[in-house]
Structure 1
Amino acid sequence: MYPAIFYEEKEGGYTVIFPDLNHLATCGETLEETMAMAVDCLAGYLYTEMLEGNDLPAPTALDKVDPHCEDDEGWEYTKSFVNLVSVDVAEYAQQHFNKPVKKTLSIPQWLNDTAVRRKVNFSKVLQNALIAELNLKKTL
Structure 2
Amino acid sequence: MKNDHFELARCLVAEIEVFGELATAKFPIRTSWLNGMEHHGIPFEPTYWATRKNSRKRMRLGRTTKKLVELRHLQRLTLHRKGRTSHVVPTADFLAETITQLDVEASRNDFFAGLFKTRWGRDMIEPIREQLKPNSHGQV
Query: TM bucket by the smaller chain?
Result: under 0.3
More strand by share: 1
TM-score, normalised relative to structure 2:
0.27
Q: TM-score, with normalisation over the residues of structure 1?
A: 0.27
* Greater C-alpha radius of gyration: 1
Indicate the structure with greater helix content. Answer: 2
